[in-house]
Chain A
Amino acid sequence: MFPFRRTLFFVLSFSLLLGACAPATTSPTAAPPAAPTIAPAQPTAAQPGAVAPTAPSQPVKEAILRVGWASEPDTMNPLTTYSTEAQEIIQLIYDKLLDYDSSFKTTPTLAKEFSYSPDGLSITFKLRDNVKWHDGQPFTADDVVFTYKLIKDNELGQYAQWLVDLTSATSPDAGTVVLTFAKPQAFNPGLVIPILPKHIWSSMSATDIETFANDQPVGTGPFRFVDWKKGTELTLERNSDFWGSQPAASKIIYILYGNEDVMAQALKGGDIDIITEVPPTIWDGLVDTPDVKAAALPSFSFHHIGFNVSAEPTSLGNPLLKDKVIRQALSYALDRNQLVQVALAGHGKPGDTIIPIGITDWHLAIPADQAMDAKPDKAKEILDAAGYTDTNGDGVRESKDGKPLQFRLIAIETTSVDVRAAQLFRDAAEKVGIKLDLQTLDENTLGNTVYNTDAPDWDIFVWGWDSGVMDPNYMLGVPLCSQIGGNNDVFYCNNEYDGLYDQQSTTLDVAARKQIVDQMQKMFYDDAAYLVMWFQDKLQAYRTDTWQGWKEIPGGLVYNLTRDNYLNITPAK
């Protein structure tokens, strides 16, 4: 027995030792011989890119832009993606007919010029000549017509919302595309829809496209797709056949970090050149770092408090919230500046109307004296006047028929700023005699609770919106009656508002449109179905010693609706 056991033990320990060999090779003593081959791992801070690893004696300089991000794209398929990260890559690989420059003016892209017909119903695009797809095929008007029809006919992805009124897409000649709509389009969809190569996409049905991973995306844009190592990095290279001027970056590598803390350390250490977005606490830690510039930029986003104002009898929300006075009182009770200071650590602006402050040309600011904000006395005054008083002395007001002003409040537990804001909101409401019971949920559960159109069983939530376009249509379009069952998260329905929406979305004159847009913002603000809490800043940071020429514009240096920064930055020194 014993000899056997001893043998077994030795066999066991030997196999353990064998296994141990693998990690043993990672000891520091083994590292030096291999150091040249992995030179890019420790680029010196002064170099933007890395030295070509194969020939250390004769370095071939590559200008590599290294971007750190903390979450990955979902897919490279523009028609099935719903992530900011994928949008970022897709806008570099694919071109649209038109694009935004760094001051958000429309700039020619695949279309060298465009014009509206006198009745405003059709837009004619003159296309650029000699544009090539990344696979060498020539780009033609057929590709444009194909893309628009594909999206319109099959209602594919997020772009379909911009083509609801499209009636035809034609190409009278090889260099021209005409889009015709049922109504004039104040927002030009040429600014958002990426043009896909017909020779690759035309063989697929709508269902095929929904399950198409697009592992080798082919576009006409300034960068080509190289590869995507899932869970680690995604690489793009400069498109030498690009129709525009060549960007200085020969490669862009997006590096995935498991958390923002380590990402910030990597930026400090010079492993990356720019980080896409970090939370306030981490951003504050980057402010005084040498050779790093921390940028806080206005965003196209806001967080809001939403009330269930559904008029349907099936709604399980507290019917008291259908009374505008209570919602307005809650708006008066809320101190938005306090929310920004406490919940956002100061990184944002107090909220008012529904178009984010970063969409500078369209946002309507409410003057402080007219704002329903931080005036708890006013809140008490209008509640008293409407007959909501505390009749039983429990600190909570009651309606005339004795119903307490007590509501359920839900927020997303992982969005810590929202939870903090919800707590402050609860305390502010309590001071004016309204009781809120806070519960936190995960985002998916909250979304499903809020959007339960059949029987919405909730009173108040805290959530947020990002506008994906530099245009009022998207945000103003959320609280439309027709969006109940769609994006309308508060079941607000006001026919006058809807009428104004149709009017502004078909008004091509910018000044006239702005007037209607302002009117709508004021109307929705007064109805207080939303309390926009804040417009948060987009918090980013970049190294100043590797790349220069970053433009700090609303929406962010990267992760923006314009790709201008990628095209115009140059290696430092």
Chain B
Amino acid sequence: MLRFGLVLKKAVQVIITLFAVITFNFLLFRVLPGDPIRLIARAGNLSPEAISRLRDLFGLDKPLVTQYFYYLRNLFTGEFGMSYTYRRPVIDILQERIANTVILLAAATVIVVLIGVAAGVIAAARRGSKTDQSLVVTSLVFWSLPTFWTGLILVILLGVYVKAFPVSGITTPGASFDSSFARLLDLGKHLVLPTITLAIVDMGQFMLITRSTLVDVLTEDYILTGKAKGLPFRRVLWGHAVPNALLPIITTTALYVSLVIGGAIQVETVFSWPGMGRLMYDAVLRRDYPILEASFLFLAATVILANFLSDIMYMVIDPRVKEA
């Protein structure tokens, strides 16, 4: 099924790309104007001695090349250095944030892809009908909604007026739980609004891609053959047409994961979700290089891995890709 050599080649490409990203991340933030210490020094009215001790502590007084090697060393020890702001190892700070972002992302991606693809299949199967038209229009309208605004509207409708779901955070403040099930349920409740927001705004693209691909596939001769053989339409659709329309959907999913990991920042802000978004925003303002470097590495790695996985999926699904 899979050609091992090809996978290996892809894997090597991934590693090279990651290393380029690592180096680029280091340079990117140091090229930015600004200085991590200056605002700290203003806020604390620090003496020159105190400032130079901080610079020494963070290695900021060293030449760029030395700083780069410190950075690589911190990266390979898995500690990612120490945050200038929070004064603790970056990995401690990031772990939990990444977990939270991934939870949100996983929930949203699954919902978005399932609903989007299902709607796309329904629309394509009934091309030209009222159902098709209204699905297309709805998708386009939803797709055009700003994420931030949609989130706020949901907060006001479902959070403040109806009070159906919590509007902020990941757990109920001050709550203690009898069981891990109760804890999970609490988390689930907090997930509802952010997930719905992402679903509303993002499912349109999946619906439209699925629909247009499927519409193409449905005009193929073998579909006609299938129908002519007397197969039920349902069978023709799900057994023959949909599998052949999967490739673009996988590409879109890979792209979506890459996009939403950055784009979820808006949803995280609206719903006070303790993910990567706020942390990165503050880190940019404070020039907290170690946090920025580690976060951007994580983002880049996610994008690269999503693409790698979609390449592999291609090979599994489409035999022609193996020859390439």
Contacts and interface: CB of A to CB of B under 8 A. Distances in A.
Interface stretch (B2-10, B13-21, B39-47, B136-144): B39-47
Nearest to A66: B173
B40 A213 contact: no
A155 B189 contact: no
A20 B174 contact: no
B195 A253 contact: no
Interface residues of B, number: 87
B34 A445 contact: yes
Contacts of B167: 262, 265-266
A167 interface: no
Contact of B46 (A28, A160, A232): A160
Contacts of B272: 232, 256-259, 262
Given A28-B164, A210-B87, A258-B271, A16 B174 contact: no
B121 to A, nearest CB: 11
Contacts of B34: 442, 444-445, 447-448
B160 A269 contact: yes
Interface in B175-231: 175-178, 181-182, 184-186, 188-189, 191-192, 195
A360 interface: no
Nearest to A1: B319
Given A22-B107, A233-B169, A9 B269 contact: no
Given A155-B50, A160-B50, A444-B39, A231 B100 contact: yes
Nearest to A465: B42
Contacts of B243: 5-6, 8-9
Nearest to B169: A232
A41 interface: yes
A23 B159 contact: no
B232 interface: no
Interface residues of A, number: 83
B28 interface: no
B159 A265 contact: yes
Interface in B247-280: 268-275, 278-279
B184 A25 contact: yes
Interface string A18-30: 0110110110101
Interface string B265-307: 0001111111100110010011100000000000000000000
Interface string A213-228: 1000000000000000
Contact of B239 (A6, A16, A212, A487): A6
B182 A443 contact: no
B246 A22 contact: no
B31 to A, nearest CB: 12
A260 B172 CA distance: 19
Nearest to B242: A9
A443 B285 contact: yes
A309 B274 CA distance: 44
A231 B173 CA distance: 12
A294 B184 CA distance: 36
A255 B173 contact: yes
Nearest to A80: B87
A23 B113 contact: no
Contacts of A80: 87
B128 interface: no
A8 B40 contact: no
Contacts of A258: 168, 268-273, 278
Contacts of B181: 34
Contacts of A74: 85-87
Nearest to B178: A37
A121 B49 CA distance: 26
A217 B227 CA distance: 74
B110 A38 contact: no
Contacts of A281: none
Given A38-B186, A265-B156, A269-B163, A158 B93 contact: no
A36 B251 CA distance: 44
Contacts of A315: none
Contacts of A485: 48
B63 interface: no
A63 interface: no
Given A160-B47, A266-B167, A64 B174 contact: yes
Contacts of B236: none
B107 A42 contact: no
B182 A256 contact: no
Nearest to B239: A6
A161 interface: yes
Q: Shortest 6 CB-CB distances between A and B: which pairs? A: A231-B274, A26-B188, A158-B44, A444-B34, A258-B272, A82-B43
Interface of A: 1-2, 5-6, 8-9, 12, 16-17, 19-20, 22-23, 25-26, 28, 30-31, 34, 37-42, 50, 53-54, 64, 66, 71, 74-75, 77, 80, 82, 155-158, 160-161, 206-207, 210-213, 229-233, 235, 251, 253, 255-259, 261-262, 265-266, 268-269, 414, 441-445, 447-449, 451, 474, 477, 485-487, 489
Given A40-B175, A229-B274, 5 more contacts: A20-B111, A23-B107, A256-B272, A262-B270, A266-B168
13 contacts: A9-B243, A16-B113, A22-B188, A23-B110, A28-B164, A38-B185, A82-B43, A213-B86, A232-B170, A255-B173, A259-B269, A262-B167, A266-B168
